[in-house]
Amino acid sequence: MKKSLILLFLLLFSGSIMAQQGSVGRPKLVVGIVIDQMRWDYIYRYYNRYGDGGFKRLLREGVSCENTMLAHIPSYTAVGHSSIYTGSIPAIDGISSNDMVDQKTGKTFYCTFDDKVKSVGTTSEDGMESPHNLWVTTIGDELRLATNFHSKVVGISLKDRASILPAGKSANAAYWLDSKTGHFITSTYYMDKLPEWLIHFNKKELAKEYLSKPWVTLYDINSYEQSCKDDNPFERPFFSGGKPTFPIDLPRLLKERQFNAIKTVPMGNTLTFDMAEATIQGEKLGTGDYTDFLAISCSATDYVGHQFGVNAIETEDTYLRLDKDLSNFINYLDEKIGKGNYTLFLSADHAAAHNYNFLKAHKINAGAFDIKQDYAKIDSVLTNKYGVKGLVRGLDNYQLNLDYDKINAAHIDKEELKQVAMDYVKTLEGVLNVVDMTKVSSTTLPAEMKVLLNNSYNSARSGEIQILVKPGYFEVWSPEESMGTSHGVWAPYDLHIPLLFMGWGIKQGQLNRMVYMTDIAPTLASLLHIQMPNGCVGHAIPEILSAATLDK
Ligand SMILES: [Zn+2]
């Protein structure tokens, strides 16, 4: 009896040791940081002026995948954020643009707008958002599934879509900024009221504080050698009739734009990291038995980029400030979660072009693809031929959206109409090629471009005819858009993004072979020993992962 009790005890004891030894090693927390519109070359363009604790620390202690490309077009925010966290592509994940066109009804809809949910934390309609248009799981969803929902997953950003889509379908929360109050809010998709810690955080009115004084450069303005002089014709001024120069009157910007103002200046990134720290503290992320996941997106970089372009002091200053914010945040992670206990990755949803007038001034081919004017021309060509107006509903996302109801009602041969439209579009300024997306395989195109186009075409939500502009060109809707810059096309300056990993399970060094945005999620899946997201088409990047993460 005694012997068998001892034996039983030994068995239980050794069993518990075995369970411990056999546990799956995982970091306490995974943090994703997506810098909206960050070009890969910004790592090196401003390298000499970065401090030791931000980008330089990621390069020094982590690994940089130097040639990381988007696997889709249009190179827009919602599409990129979805692809990073799902490892998927518009053809599969359903997010084919920020504003998509339902090909059956012709209705345009915003990627995360959801009239079935209500705002939480504000009386404005800014909270009527959810991930209902996303068709697949994110890496956060897979982490939740793999741990029987013990892991917490939260997304935060100033932009709704940049918070909601990364977090995924089963996320505990996604928080974004309310333009009316400057507070972080959410929707009833996630919860019915804000948590106490967030109510407390919002009461600090940080957005208001950051907008209470002018934006001046961090350093002597003459030291910004990577940028054009402050006053130049390639940048879009904040105030009509004004100059695009420092100091920038932020109290006036707040008056004119409400709290959307904070999204457009680098202090918006500081606020995002303030919120990230409050979230880690409030949700107790990285302190439990299960790995948690925080998806952060810094959106201010995108607005600054659009406003001022690549070669602007405003952009340079924004990245120097971001580097400081990043350094502070990594220090916070070291303190709260512990060095080596978390895995961090940093990437971008897309990159950006140079301003085309700036390129022209330096004799480089570039120009505007004048959307409004070109749409009117295409419509008149088709109206003249078929006697029906509006056979093409619109020109969105560099795609022609056909009105199938009108085409059918007028008994028009759709194939012929497409050819007529395409032949005409080919003659327009800045057009490189036009592709019938249902016939990519039989079109004469470089092989890489065929893959890119096939990845990008979602027959329910994308226009059937894709316009490929010449390098250096981007679409322009209004004269103001000839200043500053944009993104969205197939060319490498829009597709080449930074990808840095650091921390638990990550080697140190540099990887030069080409990898894709779609490889990020399966790499994280591999690191965490969980299933890759259910629409994933990417491949894990084995070179950057430490050999053994089991049995820790
Ligand atoms: Zn943008």
For the stretch 228-278, pLDDT in tens is: 999 999 999 999 899 999 999 999 999 999 999 999 999 999 999 999 999
Asked if 215 and 265 touch (Cβ cutoff 8 Å), the reply is yes
Q: Is residue 399 part of a domain?
A: yes
Cβ atoms within 10 Å of 101's Cβ, excluding its own: 22
Give per-residue pLDDT as tens, 42-51.
999 999 999 9
CA of 256 to the centre of ligand 1 (A): 21
CA of 158 to the centre of ligand 1 (A): 13
Do 280 and 140 fall within a single domain? yes
CA of 313 to the centre of ligand 1 (A): 18
For the residues 436-456, what does the mean pLDDT come to? 97
Q: Is residue 5 part of a domain?
A: no
CA of 458 to the centre of ligand 1 (A): 21
Q: Is residue 484 part of a domain?
A: no
Q: Is residue 270 part of a domain?
A: yes
Q: How many domains does the chain have?
A: 2
CA of 485 to the centre of ligand 1 (A): 9
pLDDT attached to residue 6: 54
Do 309 and 456 fall within a single domain? no
Give per-residue pLDDT as tens, 506-546.
999 999 999 999 999 999 999 999 999 999 999 999 999 99
Do 127 and 186 fall within a single domain? yes
With a pLDDT cut of 90, the percent of the chain lying above it is: 92
Do 72 and 140 fall within a single domain? yes
CA of 255 to the centre of ligand 1 (A): 23
Q: Is residue 16 part of a domain?
A: no
CA of 419 to the centre of ligand 1 (A): 32
Q: What CATH number is associated with residue 498?
A: 3.40.720.10
- 17 vs 23: CA distance, rounded Å: 10
Do 298 and 425 fall within a single domain? no
Least confident of 6-10, 59-63, 461-465: 6-10
Q: Which amino acid is at 211?
A: L
pTM of the predicted model as reported, rounded to 2 decimal places: 0.94
CA of 394 to the centre of ligand 1 (A): 20
Do 179 and 241 fall within a single domain? yes
Q: What CATH number is associated with residue 389?
A: 3.30.1360.150
Has residue 11 got a pLDDT over 50?
no
Do 294 and 422 fall within a single domain? no
Which residues, in sequence order, are CB contacts of 435 under 8 Å at separation 6+? 443, 445, 453, 465, 466, 468
Q: Is residue 272 part of a domain?
A: yes
Least confident of 253-262, 322-331, 371-380, 533-542: 371-380
Mean pLDDT, rounded, of the chain: 94
Give per-residue pLDDT as tens, 188-197.
999 999 999 9
C-alpha pair distances (Å), 490 with each of 76, 456, 467: 11, 11, 10
Residue 114: pLDDT band with limits 50, 70, 90: very high
DSSP string, 497-508: E-EEEEETTB--
CA of 347 to the centre of ligand 1 (A): 15
Q: Which of 470, 503, 519 lies at the terminal end of a domain, its last residue?
A: 470
Do 337 and 451 fall within a single domain? no
CA of 486 to the centre of ligand 1 (A): 6
Do 184 and 322 fall within a single domain? yes
Asked if 453 and 484 touch (Cβ cutoff 8 Å), the reply is no
Do 168 and 274 fall within a single domain? yes
CA of 489 to the centre of ligand 1 (A): 12
> Is 147 among the residues known to form the active site?
no
Which residues, in sequence order, are CB contacts of 387 under 8 Å at separation 6+? 410
- 161 vs 179: CA distance, rounded Å: 14
Domain residues for 427? 367-470
CA of 74 to the centre of ligand 1 (A): 11
Indicate which residue of 77, 186, 315, 518 is catalytic: 77
C-alpha pair distances (Å), 378 with each of 375, 383, 393, 397, 425: 5, 9, 11, 16, 7
Do 417 and 329 fall within a single domain? no
CA of 350 to the centre of ligand 1 (A): 8
CA of 81 to the centre of ligand 1 (A): 12
C-alpha pair distances (Å), 545 with each of 226, 450, 502, 515, 524: 35, 31, 10, 14, 9
CA of 542 to the centre of ligand 1 (A): 31
Q: Is residue 478 part of a domain?
A: no
pLDDT attached to residue 480: 87
Residue 335: pLDDT band with limits 50, 70, 90: very high
- 3-state SS assignment for residue 242: coil
Q: Is residue 23 part of a domain?
A: no
Do 408 and 350 fall within a single domain? no
